[in-house]
Amino acid sequence: MSSKYYYITTPIYYVNDVPHIGHAYTSIACDVIARFMRLAGKNVMFLTGTDEHGQKVEKSAEKFGMKPQEFTDKNSEIFRKMMHQLNISNDDFIRTTENRHKKAVEHFWQELVDKDEIYLDKYDGWYSVRDEAFYSEDELTADGLAPTGAPVEWVEEPSYFFKLSKWQDKLLEFYHNNPDFIYPESRKNEVISFVKSGLVDLSVSRTSFGWGIKVPGDEKHVIYVWLDALTNYISALGYPGNSEKYSNFWPTATHVVGKDILRFHAVYWPAFLMAAGLPLPKSIVAHGWWTNEGQKISKSVGNVIDPFKLIDEFGLDQVRYFLMREVTFGNDGNFSKDNLVARINSELSNKIGNLMQRTCSLVYKYCNKQVPKVSKEFIAKIYLESELINLAINLGHQNNDLMHSFQINKVLDNIINIAEQANAFIDKEAPWALKSDQEKMNEVLYILLEVIRHLGIMLLPFVPDSASKMLDQLNILEDSRSFSDLSPNSALIPESMINQPTPIFPRLENDIS
Ligand code: MSP
Protein backbone atom coordinates (compact mmCIF):
# COMPACT_ATOMS: atom_id res chain seq x y z
CA MET A 1 0.00 0.00 0.00
CA SER A 2 1.34 3.39 -0.80
CA SER A 3 2.07 5.60 2.19
CA LYS A 4 0.44 8.98 2.69
CA TYR A 5 3.89 10.29 3.56
CA TYR A 6 6.53 11.29 1.03
CA TYR A 7 10.11 12.20 1.87
CA ILE A 8 12.32 13.75 -0.79
CA THR A 9 15.87 15.05 -0.54
CA THR A 10 18.41 16.92 -2.64
CA PRO A 11 22.09 16.19 -2.15
CA ILE A 12 23.52 18.57 0.41
CA TYR A 13 25.74 21.02 -1.42
CA TYR A 14 29.43 21.61 -0.79
CA VAL A 15 29.94 25.16 0.39
CA ASN A 16 33.32 25.61 -1.30
CA ASP A 17 31.55 26.58 -4.51
CA VAL A 18 28.94 29.17 -5.41
CA PRO A 19 25.62 27.87 -6.73
CA HIS A 20 25.68 26.78 -10.38
CA ILE A 21 23.27 25.17 -12.80
CA GLY A 22 23.86 21.71 -11.30
CA HIS A 23 22.71 22.81 -7.86
CA ALA A 24 19.77 24.65 -9.36
CA TYR A 25 18.76 21.67 -11.49
CA THR A 26 18.69 19.10 -8.68
CA SER A 27 16.88 21.53 -6.40
CA ILE A 28 14.24 22.41 -8.99
CA ALA A 29 13.65 18.75 -9.91
CA CYS A 30 13.08 17.88 -6.25
CA ASP A 31 10.87 20.91 -5.82
CA VAL A 32 8.70 19.86 -8.76
CA ILE A 33 8.32 16.37 -7.31
CA ALA A 34 7.61 17.73 -3.81
CA ARG A 35 4.99 20.19 -5.05
CA PHE A 36 3.40 17.51 -7.24
CA MET A 37 3.11 15.07 -4.34
CA ARG A 38 1.58 17.75 -2.10
CA LEU A 39 -1.04 18.47 -4.77
CA ALA A 40 -1.65 14.72 -5.00
CA GLY A 41 -2.54 14.77 -1.30
CA LYS A 42 0.68 13.42 0.21
CA ASN A 43 2.14 14.66 3.44
CA VAL A 44 5.52 15.77 2.11
CA MET A 45 8.82 16.42 3.81
CA PHE A 46 11.32 18.03 1.47
CA LEU A 47 14.89 18.40 2.69
CA THR A 48 17.90 20.24 1.33
CA GLY A 49 20.99 21.75 2.91
CA THR A 50 24.76 22.15 2.87
CA ASP A 51 27.70 19.77 3.21
CA GLU A 52 30.25 21.72 5.20
CA HIS A 53 33.00 19.43 6.47
CA GLY A 54 36.04 17.82 4.86
CA GLN A 55 39.32 18.70 3.30
CA LYS A 56 37.90 20.46 0.25
CA VAL A 57 35.96 22.96 2.34
CA GLU A 58 38.85 23.38 4.78
CA LYS A 59 41.22 24.21 1.92
CA SER A 60 38.77 26.68 0.37
CA ALA A 61 38.36 28.47 3.68
CA GLU A 62 42.14 28.73 3.96
CA LYS A 63 42.36 30.14 0.47
CA PHE A 64 39.95 32.89 1.45
CA GLY A 65 41.85 33.47 4.70
CA MET A 66 38.83 32.52 6.76
CA LYS A 67 38.18 30.14 9.62
CA PRO A 68 36.22 27.12 8.34
CA GLN A 69 33.21 27.88 10.52
CA GLU A 70 33.09 31.50 9.43
CA PHE A 71 33.50 30.44 5.78
CA THR A 72 30.74 27.83 5.92
CA ASP A 73 28.37 30.20 7.76
CA LYS A 74 28.77 32.71 4.97
CA ASN A 75 28.49 30.26 2.07
CA SER A 76 25.71 28.14 3.46
CA GLU A 77 23.63 31.31 3.59
CA ILE A 78 24.14 31.75 -0.16
CA PHE A 79 22.59 28.33 -0.77
CA ARG A 80 19.73 29.11 1.57
CA LYS A 81 19.09 32.25 -0.48
CA MET A 82 19.32 30.26 -3.71
CA MET A 83 16.42 28.10 -2.50
CA HIS A 84 14.40 31.22 -1.95
CA GLN A 85 15.33 32.73 -5.31
CA LEU A 86 14.41 29.54 -7.15
CA ASN A 87 11.10 29.32 -5.28
CA ILE A 88 12.08 25.98 -3.74
CA SER A 89 9.50 24.75 -1.23
CA ASN A 90 11.83 22.85 1.10
CA ASP A 91 10.50 22.11 4.58
CA ASP A 92 13.91 22.04 6.23
CA PHE A 93 17.47 23.09 5.46
CA ILE A 94 20.16 21.12 7.22
CA ARG A 95 23.78 22.10 7.76
CA THR A 96 26.28 19.42 8.68
CA THR A 97 27.88 21.80 11.20
CA GLU A 98 24.67 21.90 13.23
CA ASN A 99 24.54 20.17 16.56
CA ARG A 100 21.52 18.01 15.66
CA HIS A 101 23.54 16.56 12.79
CA LYS A 102 26.76 16.12 14.75
CA LYS A 103 24.93 14.16 17.45
CA ALA A 104 23.30 11.93 14.83
CA VAL A 105 26.61 11.17 13.10
CA GLU A 106 28.34 10.35 16.39
CA HIS A 107 25.51 8.02 17.30
CA PHE A 108 25.49 6.39 13.86
CA TRP A 109 29.26 5.84 14.08
CA GLN A 110 28.93 4.30 17.53
CA GLU A 111 26.23 1.93 16.26
CA LEU A 112 28.61 0.76 13.54
CA VAL A 113 31.40 0.29 16.09
CA ASP A 114 29.12 -1.58 18.50
CA LYS A 115 28.03 -3.88 15.68
CA ASP A 116 31.66 -4.57 14.87
CA GLU A 117 31.44 -3.01 11.42
CA ILE A 118 34.42 -0.69 11.83
CA TYR A 119 38.08 -1.50 12.54
CA LEU A 120 41.31 0.49 12.83
CA ASP A 121 44.06 -0.01 10.23
CA LYS A 122 46.15 2.15 7.91
CA TYR A 123 45.22 3.66 4.53
CA ASP A 124 47.87 3.72 1.80
CA GLY A 125 46.37 4.89 -1.43
CA TRP A 126 45.03 7.64 -3.65
CA TYR A 127 42.63 10.35 -2.57
CA SER A 128 40.95 13.09 -4.56
CA VAL A 129 40.13 16.16 -2.51
CA ARG A 130 37.94 17.54 -5.28
CA ASP A 131 35.79 14.39 -5.32
CA GLU A 132 36.34 13.66 -1.60
CA ALA A 133 36.84 10.06 -2.73
CA PHE A 134 39.39 7.24 -2.43
CA TYR A 135 40.55 5.59 -5.65
CA SER A 136 42.44 2.38 -6.28
CA GLU A 137 45.47 2.36 -8.57
CA ASP A 138 43.62 0.59 -11.38
CA GLU A 139 40.83 3.18 -11.40
CA LEU A 140 43.23 5.99 -12.34
CA THR A 141 43.57 7.23 -15.93
CA ALA A 142 46.78 6.93 -17.96
CA ASP A 143 47.58 10.52 -16.88
CA GLY A 144 47.27 9.54 -13.25
CA LEU A 145 43.98 11.32 -12.66
CA ALA A 146 40.77 10.11 -11.00
CA PRO A 147 38.23 8.66 -13.45
CA THR A 148 36.33 11.95 -13.02
CA GLY A 149 39.38 13.88 -14.25
CA ALA A 150 40.13 15.21 -10.76
CA PRO A 151 43.72 15.27 -9.45
CA VAL A 152 44.63 12.70 -6.81
CA GLU A 153 47.23 12.64 -4.05
CA TRP A 154 48.94 9.79 -2.28
CA VAL A 155 47.79 9.37 1.31
CA GLU A 156 49.34 7.26 4.05
CA GLU A 157 47.69 7.55 7.42
CA PRO A 158 46.04 5.56 10.18
CA SER A 159 42.39 5.10 9.32
CA TYR A 160 39.24 3.39 10.48
CA PHE A 161 37.69 1.11 7.89
CA PHE A 162 34.09 0.13 7.32
CA LYS A 163 33.60 -3.55 6.40
CA LEU A 164 32.05 -2.77 3.03
CA SER A 165 33.23 -6.03 1.40
CA LYS A 166 31.06 -8.02 3.79
CA TRP A 167 27.90 -6.38 2.37
CA GLN A 168 28.45 -7.17 -1.30
CA ASP A 169 26.03 -10.10 -1.52
CA LYS A 170 23.45 -8.47 0.71
CA LEU A 171 23.46 -5.41 -1.55
CA LEU A 172 23.03 -7.51 -4.69
CA GLU A 173 20.19 -9.38 -3.05
CA PHE A 174 18.59 -6.08 -2.07
CA TYR A 175 18.78 -4.66 -5.62
CA HIS A 176 17.30 -7.89 -6.91
CA ASN A 177 14.39 -7.86 -4.46
CA ASN A 178 13.74 -4.14 -4.89
CA PRO A 179 13.83 -3.51 -8.63
CA ASP A 180 12.56 0.05 -8.14
CA PHE A 181 15.35 1.06 -5.80
CA ILE A 182 17.52 2.78 -8.43
CA TYR A 183 16.23 5.00 -11.26
CA PRO A 184 16.76 4.99 -14.16
CA GLU A 185 17.26 1.35 -15.19
CA SER A 186 20.53 2.04 -17.05
CA ARG A 187 22.11 3.49 -13.92
CA LYS A 188 20.85 0.59 -11.86
CA ASN A 189 22.74 -1.79 -14.12
CA GLU A 190 25.91 0.24 -13.68
CA VAL A 191 25.60 0.06 -9.92
CA ILE A 192 24.99 -3.67 -9.99
CA SER A 193 28.01 -4.35 -12.16
CA PHE A 194 30.16 -2.16 -9.92
CA VAL A 195 29.10 -4.14 -6.86
CA LYS A 196 29.53 -7.44 -8.68
CA SER A 197 33.07 -6.48 -9.64
CA GLY A 198 33.96 -6.69 -5.93
CA LEU A 199 33.82 -4.29 -3.00
CA VAL A 200 36.78 -3.52 -0.76
CA ASP A 201 36.57 -2.14 2.75
CA LEU A 202 36.16 1.62 2.84
CA SER A 203 38.35 4.06 4.70
CA VAL A 204 35.98 6.13 6.88
CA SER A 205 38.26 8.44 8.82
CA ARG A 206 41.10 10.86 8.13
CA THR A 207 43.90 12.17 10.35
CA SER A 208 45.74 14.64 8.12
CA PHE A 209 43.36 17.56 8.67
CA GLY A 210 40.90 18.55 11.35
CA TRP A 211 37.71 20.03 9.82
CA GLY A 212 35.06 17.46 10.51
CA ILE A 213 33.24 15.51 13.18
CA LYS A 214 35.72 13.80 15.50
CA VAL A 215 35.63 10.03 15.82
CA PRO A 216 34.05 9.38 19.23
CA GLY A 217 36.81 8.27 21.60
CA ASP A 218 39.66 8.86 19.13
CA GLU A 219 39.88 12.56 18.46
CA LYS A 220 42.90 12.40 16.17
CA HIS A 221 40.51 11.15 13.48
CA VAL A 222 37.73 13.03 11.75
CA ILE A 223 34.89 11.00 10.24
CA TYR A 224 35.06 10.67 6.43
CA VAL A 225 33.00 13.47 4.93
CA TRP A 226 30.73 11.13 2.96
CA LEU A 227 29.76 9.09 6.01
CA ASP A 228 29.10 12.38 7.77
CA ALA A 229 27.16 13.87 4.82
CA LEU A 230 24.92 10.91 4.00
CA THR A 231 23.71 10.80 7.58
CA ASN A 232 22.03 14.19 7.03
CA TYR A 233 19.07 12.36 5.54
CA ILE A 234 18.24 10.82 8.89
CA SER A 235 19.57 13.48 11.24
CA ALA A 236 17.03 15.93 9.79
CA LEU A 237 14.27 13.49 10.76
CA GLY A 238 15.39 13.46 14.38
CA TYR A 239 17.55 10.31 14.35
CA PRO A 240 18.53 8.79 16.77
CA GLY A 241 15.48 9.82 18.80
CA ASN A 242 12.19 8.02 18.40
CA SER A 243 10.56 10.83 16.49
CA GLU A 244 7.33 10.46 14.58
CA LYS A 245 8.96 12.30 11.73
CA TYR A 246 11.53 9.56 11.44
CA SER A 247 9.09 6.68 11.61
CA ASN A 248 6.62 8.24 9.18
CA PHE A 249 8.97 9.65 6.61
CA TRP A 250 12.11 7.53 6.57
CA PRO A 251 10.57 4.44 4.89
CA THR A 252 9.35 6.68 2.04
CA ALA A 253 12.67 8.41 1.31
CA THR A 254 13.64 9.34 -2.24
CA HIS A 255 17.13 10.70 -2.73
CA VAL A 256 17.58 12.63 -5.96
CA VAL A 257 21.26 12.92 -6.92
CA GLY A 258 23.49 13.61 -9.91
CA LYS A 259 24.94 10.57 -11.68
CA ASP A 260 28.43 11.41 -10.33
CA ILE A 261 27.39 10.72 -6.75
CA LEU A 262 25.19 7.70 -7.36
CA ARG A 263 27.76 5.23 -6.01
CA PHE A 264 27.81 6.95 -2.63
CA HIS A 265 24.04 6.80 -2.42
CA ALA A 266 23.28 3.44 -3.96
CA VAL A 267 26.19 1.43 -2.58
CA TYR A 268 27.85 3.00 0.47
CA TRP A 269 24.76 4.50 2.08
CA PRO A 270 22.64 1.31 1.90
CA ALA A 271 25.62 -0.69 3.21
CA PHE A 272 26.09 1.70 6.17
CA LEU A 273 22.38 1.50 6.94
CA MET A 274 22.20 -2.28 6.72
CA ALA A 275 25.26 -2.52 8.95
CA ALA A 276 23.65 -0.19 11.51
CA GLY A 277 20.47 -2.28 11.37
CA LEU A 278 18.38 0.56 9.90
CA PRO A 279 15.86 0.40 7.05
CA LEU A 280 16.93 1.58 3.60
CA PRO A 281 15.47 4.50 1.63
CA LYS A 282 12.80 3.70 -0.95
CA SER A 283 14.49 5.04 -4.06
CA ILE A 284 17.63 6.64 -5.37
CA VAL A 285 17.11 8.68 -8.50
CA ALA A 286 20.10 9.69 -10.60
CA HIS A 287 19.85 12.56 -13.04
CA GLY A 288 22.25 13.43 -15.84
CA TRP A 289 24.58 16.35 -16.32
CA TRP A 290 24.21 19.57 -18.27
CA THR A 291 26.71 20.75 -20.80
CA ASN A 292 26.83 24.41 -21.88
CA GLU A 293 26.29 24.97 -25.59
CA GLY A 294 27.76 21.50 -26.20
CA GLN A 295 30.77 21.85 -23.89
CA LYS A 296 31.48 20.20 -20.57
CA ILE A 297 30.92 22.77 -17.84
CA SER A 298 34.03 23.55 -15.83
CA LYS A 299 35.57 26.39 -13.93
CA SER A 300 38.80 26.14 -15.94
CA VAL A 301 36.93 26.50 -19.25
CA GLY A 302 35.08 29.40 -17.65
CA ASN A 303 31.64 28.32 -18.89
CA VAL A 304 29.92 27.79 -15.55
CA ILE A 305 26.26 28.78 -15.79
CA ASP A 306 25.09 31.19 -13.10
CA PRO A 307 21.45 30.38 -12.37
CA PHE A 308 20.77 33.87 -11.02
CA LYS A 309 21.86 35.54 -14.25
CA LEU A 310 19.59 33.20 -16.19
CA ILE A 311 16.64 34.08 -14.02
CA ASP A 312 17.32 37.79 -14.45
CA GLU A 313 17.48 37.37 -18.18
CA PHE A 314 14.62 34.97 -18.85
CA GLY A 315 12.45 34.80 -15.74
CA LEU A 316 12.33 32.17 -13.00
CA ASP A 317 9.40 30.09 -14.23
CA GLN A 318 10.83 30.15 -17.75
CA VAL A 319 14.12 28.69 -16.50
CA ARG A 320 12.39 26.14 -14.28
CA TYR A 321 10.23 25.06 -17.21
CA PHE A 322 13.13 24.77 -19.63
CA LEU A 323 15.28 22.69 -17.26
CA MET A 324 12.47 20.22 -16.62
CA ARG A 325 11.27 20.11 -20.20
CA GLU A 326 14.42 19.98 -22.28
CA VAL A 327 15.78 16.55 -21.31
CA THR A 328 14.46 13.16 -20.43
CA PHE A 329 14.99 13.09 -16.69
CA GLY A 330 18.00 10.83 -16.08
CA ASN A 331 19.77 11.72 -19.34
CA ASP A 332 22.39 14.37 -19.92
CA GLY A 333 21.22 17.65 -21.39
CA ASN A 334 22.68 20.49 -23.35
CA PHE A 335 21.98 24.00 -22.23
CA SER A 336 21.57 26.50 -25.01
CA LYS A 337 19.99 29.94 -24.85
CA ASP A 338 18.52 29.56 -28.32
CA ASN A 339 16.76 26.37 -27.26
CA LEU A 340 15.53 28.01 -24.10
CA VAL A 341 14.02 30.93 -26.01
CA ALA A 342 12.53 28.57 -28.61
CA ARG A 343 10.91 26.35 -25.96
CA ILE A 344 9.46 29.24 -24.03
CA ASN A 345 8.07 30.92 -27.11
CA SER A 346 6.71 27.85 -28.85
CA GLU A 347 5.23 26.18 -25.78
CA LEU A 348 4.60 28.52 -22.86
CA SER A 349 3.76 31.59 -24.97
CA ASN A 350 2.22 30.11 -28.12
CA LYS A 351 0.45 27.11 -26.66
CA ILE A 352 -0.50 27.96 -23.08
CA GLY A 353 -0.35 31.76 -23.00
CA ASN A 354 -2.22 32.22 -26.27
CA LEU A 355 -4.89 29.71 -25.38
CA MET A 356 -5.51 31.55 -22.16
CA GLN A 357 -5.42 34.98 -23.75
CA ARG A 358 -7.73 34.04 -26.60
CA THR A 359 -10.24 32.29 -24.39
CA CYS A 360 -10.33 34.83 -21.59
CA SER A 361 -10.57 37.79 -23.97
CA LEU A 362 -13.62 36.22 -25.62
CA VAL A 363 -15.19 35.46 -22.26
CA TYR A 364 -14.48 39.00 -21.14
CA LYS A 365 -15.96 40.48 -24.25
CA TYR A 366 -18.94 38.26 -24.99
CA CYS A 367 -19.88 36.72 -21.64
CA ASN A 368 -20.03 39.72 -19.38
CA LYS A 369 -16.65 39.05 -17.76
CA GLN A 370 -18.22 35.92 -16.28
CA VAL A 371 -17.70 32.19 -16.58
CA PRO A 372 -20.15 31.40 -19.40
CA LYS A 373 -23.61 30.41 -18.37
CA VAL A 374 -24.17 26.67 -18.89
CA SER A 375 -26.42 24.18 -17.13
CA LYS A 376 -25.43 21.66 -14.47
CA GLU A 377 -26.39 18.92 -16.90
CA PHE A 378 -24.05 20.34 -19.49
CA ILE A 379 -21.16 20.23 -17.01
CA ALA A 380 -21.94 16.62 -16.10
CA LYS A 381 -22.20 15.78 -19.78
CA ILE A 382 -18.85 17.23 -20.84
CA TYR A 383 -17.12 15.22 -18.13
CA LEU A 384 -18.54 12.13 -19.83
CA GLU A 385 -18.49 13.12 -23.46
CA SER A 386 -16.10 15.94 -24.28
CA GLU A 387 -12.96 14.51 -25.86
CA LEU A 388 -10.93 17.43 -24.64
CA ILE A 389 -12.06 17.22 -21.02
CA ASN A 390 -11.52 13.47 -21.05
CA LEU A 391 -8.05 13.86 -22.47
CA ALA A 392 -7.20 16.22 -19.61
CA ILE A 393 -8.62 13.80 -17.02
CA ASN A 394 -6.87 10.75 -18.46
CA LEU A 395 -3.52 12.41 -18.85
CA GLY A 396 -3.88 13.81 -15.34
CA HIS A 397 -4.17 10.23 -14.03
CA GLN A 398 -1.29 9.11 -16.16
CA ASN A 399 0.85 11.92 -14.76
CA ASN A 400 0.58 10.42 -11.33
CA ASP A 401 2.25 7.20 -12.47
CA LEU A 402 4.81 9.12 -14.47
CA MET A 403 5.83 11.25 -11.51
CA HIS A 404 6.05 8.24 -9.23
CA SER A 405 8.60 6.82 -11.66
CA PHE A 406 10.37 10.21 -11.98
CA GLN A 407 9.55 10.76 -15.65
CA ILE A 408 9.23 14.46 -15.03
CA ASN A 409 9.55 15.61 -18.63
CA LYS A 410 6.83 13.20 -19.75
CA VAL A 411 4.40 14.91 -17.39
CA LEU A 412 5.14 18.12 -19.29
CA ASP A 413 4.67 16.30 -22.62
CA ASN A 414 1.17 15.46 -21.46
CA ILE A 415 0.41 18.98 -20.32
CA ILE A 416 1.56 20.43 -23.64
CA ASN A 417 -0.45 17.81 -25.48
CA ILE A 418 -3.61 18.98 -23.69
CA ALA A 419 -2.84 22.61 -24.59
CA GLU A 420 -2.30 21.64 -28.24
CA GLN A 421 -5.64 19.86 -28.37
CA ALA A 422 -7.35 22.81 -26.71
CA ASN A 423 -5.87 25.13 -29.35
CA ALA A 424 -7.09 22.79 -32.09
CA PHE A 425 -10.54 22.83 -30.45
CA ILE A 426 -10.75 26.62 -30.34
CA ASP A 427 -9.68 26.81 -34.00
CA LYS A 428 -12.24 24.23 -35.02
CA GLU A 429 -15.15 25.61 -33.00
CA ALA A 430 -14.30 29.26 -33.74
CA PRO A 431 -16.30 30.69 -30.83
CA TRP A 432 -15.73 34.27 -32.10
CA ALA A 433 -17.98 33.39 -35.01
CA LEU A 434 -20.82 32.22 -32.78
CA LYS A 435 -22.21 35.63 -31.85
CA SER A 436 -25.60 34.67 -33.20
CA ASP A 437 -25.69 31.50 -31.10
CA GLN A 438 -24.85 32.60 -27.55
CA GLU A 439 -25.71 29.21 -26.05
CA LYS A 440 -23.25 27.39 -28.28
CA MET A 441 -20.62 30.05 -27.72
CA ASN A 442 -21.07 29.68 -23.95
CA GLU A 443 -20.62 25.93 -24.21
CA VAL A 444 -17.45 26.12 -26.27
CA LEU A 445 -15.91 28.78 -24.03
CA TYR A 446 -16.92 26.92 -20.88
CA ILE A 447 -15.11 23.78 -22.05
CA LEU A 448 -12.04 25.86 -22.85
CA LEU A 449 -12.03 27.64 -19.50
CA GLU A 450 -12.45 24.33 -17.72
CA VAL A 451 -9.45 22.89 -19.58
CA ILE A 452 -7.43 25.99 -18.68
CA ARG A 453 -8.33 25.36 -15.05
CA HIS A 454 -6.94 21.83 -15.40
CA LEU A 455 -3.81 23.12 -17.10
CA GLY A 456 -3.27 25.73 -14.39
CA ILE A 457 -3.45 23.13 -11.62
CA MET A 458 -1.23 20.69 -13.50
CA LEU A 459 1.38 23.39 -14.12
CA LEU A 460 1.60 24.46 -10.46
CA PRO A 461 4.56 22.19 -9.56
CA PHE A 462 6.60 23.39 -12.54
CA VAL A 463 5.89 27.11 -12.81
CA PRO A 464 4.28 27.90 -9.45
CA ASP A 465 3.97 31.69 -9.83
CA SER A 466 2.70 31.70 -13.39
CA ALA A 467 0.28 28.84 -12.84
CA SER A 468 -1.07 30.65 -9.77
CA LYS A 469 -1.64 33.70 -11.96
CA MET A 470 -3.57 31.55 -14.43
CA LEU A 471 -5.80 30.32 -11.63
CA ASP A 472 -6.11 33.81 -10.14
CA GLN A 473 -7.45 35.02 -13.47
CA LEU A 474 -10.22 32.48 -13.21
CA ASN A 475 -10.78 33.45 -9.57
CA ILE A 476 -10.15 29.94 -8.31
CA LEU A 477 -9.91 29.74 -4.54
CA GLU A 478 -6.63 28.71 -2.92
CA ASP A 479 -8.20 25.62 -1.40
CA SER A 480 -9.50 24.41 -4.77
CA ARG A 481 -6.12 24.00 -6.43
CA SER A 482 -5.13 20.40 -5.86
CA PHE A 483 -5.33 17.34 -8.08
CA SER A 484 -8.52 16.22 -6.37
CA ASP A 485 -10.07 19.35 -7.91
CA LEU A 486 -9.49 17.98 -11.41
CA SER A 487 -13.05 16.71 -11.36
CA PRO A 488 -16.60 17.91 -12.09
CA ASN A 489 -17.11 18.59 -8.38
CA SER A 490 -14.77 21.56 -8.58
CA ALA A 491 -15.82 22.68 -12.05
CA LEU A 492 -16.04 26.42 -12.68
CA ILE A 493 -19.22 27.99 -11.42
CA PRO A 494 -21.22 29.50 -14.30
CA GLU A 495 -21.66 33.26 -14.08
CA SER A 496 -18.86 33.73 -11.54
CA MET A 497 -16.61 36.67 -12.37
CA ILE A 498 -13.23 36.23 -14.04
CA ASN A 499 -10.46 38.82 -13.94
CA GLN A 500 -9.13 41.01 -16.69
CA PRO A 501 -6.89 38.84 -18.89
CA THR A 502 -3.21 39.79 -18.74
CA PRO A 503 -0.43 37.95 -20.59
CA ILE A 504 1.07 35.21 -18.43
CA PHE A 505 3.92 34.02 -20.63
CA PRO A 506 5.21 36.93 -22.71
CA ARG A 507 7.30 36.00 -25.72
CA LEU A 508 11.05 36.25 -25.25
CA GLU A 509 13.11 38.20 -27.74
CA ASN A 510 15.25 35.97 -29.90
CA ASP A 511 18.26 38.20 -29.92
CA ILE A 512 19.00 38.07 -26.19
CA SER A 513 22.69 37.31 -25.95
N1 MSP B 1 28.22 17.30 -1.10
C2 MSP B 1 28.02 16.30 -2.10
C3 MSP B 1 26.69 15.61 -1.92
C4 MSP B 1 26.47 14.98 -0.59
S5 MSP B 1 24.90 14.29 -0.45
C6 MSP B 1 24.93 13.43 0.95
C7 MSP B 1 28.09 16.93 -3.48
N8 MSP B 1 27.87 18.24 -3.53
S9 MSP B 1 28.00 19.13 -4.84
O10 MSP B 1 27.70 20.47 -4.44
O11 MSP B 1 29.24 18.95 -5.48
O12 MSP B 1 26.95 18.51 -5.80
C13 MSP B 1 25.86 19.08 -6.25
C14 MSP B 1 24.97 18.34 -7.18
O15 MSP B 1 25.09 19.05 -8.40
C16 MSP B 1 25.28 16.87 -7.48
O17 MSP B 1 24.07 16.13 -7.50
C18 MSP B 1 25.86 16.93 -8.88
O19 MSP B 1 25.55 15.82 -9.64
C20 MSP B 1 25.16 18.13 -9.45
N21 MSP B 1 25.87 18.72 -10.57
C22 MSP B 1 27.07 19.36 -10.58
N23 MSP B 1 27.33 19.76 -11.84
C24 MSP B 1 26.31 19.41 -12.66
C25 MSP B 1 25.97 19.64 -14.01
N26 MSP B 1 26.78 20.24 -14.87
N27 MSP B 1 24.73 19.24 -14.43
C28 MSP B 1 23.81 18.68 -13.58
N29 MSP B 1 24.11 18.46 -12.31
C30 MSP B 1 25.41 18.63 -11.88
O31 MSP B 1 28.31 16.24 -4.42
User: If we measure between CA atoms, which residue out of 314, 308, 306, 311 comes closest to residue 341?
Assistant: 314
Cβ–ligand 1 contact at 224 (below 6 Å): no
Q: How many CB atoms lie within 10 A of CB 365?
A: 11
Nearest atom (ligand 1) to Cα of 11: 5
Q: Determine if ligand 1 sits within 6 Å of the CB of residue 26.
A: yes
User: Which of 233, 266, 235, 269 is closest to 252 using CA atoms?
Assistant: 233
| Residue 22, ligand 1, Cβ within 6 A | yes
- Residue among 10, 21, 23 whose CB has most ligand 1 atoms within 8 A, to mutate: 23
Dump pLDDT digits (tens) for 261-280: 999 999 999 999 999 999 99
**Contact assessment for residue 446 and residue 422, using Cβ atoms and an 8 Å cutoff:** no
- What does each C-alpha distance from 90 to 28, 31, 46 come to in angstroms? 10, 7, 5
Q: Is 56's C-beta closer than 6 angstroms to any atom of ligand 1?
A: no
* CA nearest ligand 1 atom 21, residue: 22
289 in contact with ligand 1, CB cutoff 6 A: yes
Residue pair 445/361 in contact (Cβ under 8 Å)? The answer is: no
Average pLDDT over residues 75-104: 98
Cα–Cα nearest to 105, from 13, 257, 222, 210: 222
Kindly report, residue by residue over 435-482, the tens digit of the pLDDT.
999 999 999 999 999 999 999 999 999 999 999 999 999 999 999 999
Residue 11 near ligand 1, beta carbon < 6 Å: yes
Whether the CB-CB separation of 94 and 47 falls below 8 Å is answered with yes
Tens digit of pLDDT for each residue in 284-318? Answer: 999 999 999 888 888 778 888 899 999 999 999 99
Task: Determine contact, residues 504/472, Cβ cutoff 8 Å.
Answer: no
CA of 32 from ligand 1 middle (Å) equals 18
In the prediction, which pLDDT does 512 show? Answer: 47
> Residue 230: pLDDT above 70?
yes
> Cα–Cα distance between 90 and 262 in angstroms, integer?
22
| 216: three-class secondary structure by DSSP | coil
Q: Is the CB of 226 under 6 A from ligand 1?
A: no
Decide: 183 in ligand 1 pocket, CB within 6 A. no
Is residue 261 in contact with ligand 1, taking CB distance under 6 Å? Answer: yes
pLDDT over 60 at 55, yes or no: yes
* Cα separation, 405 vs 402, whole angstroms: 5
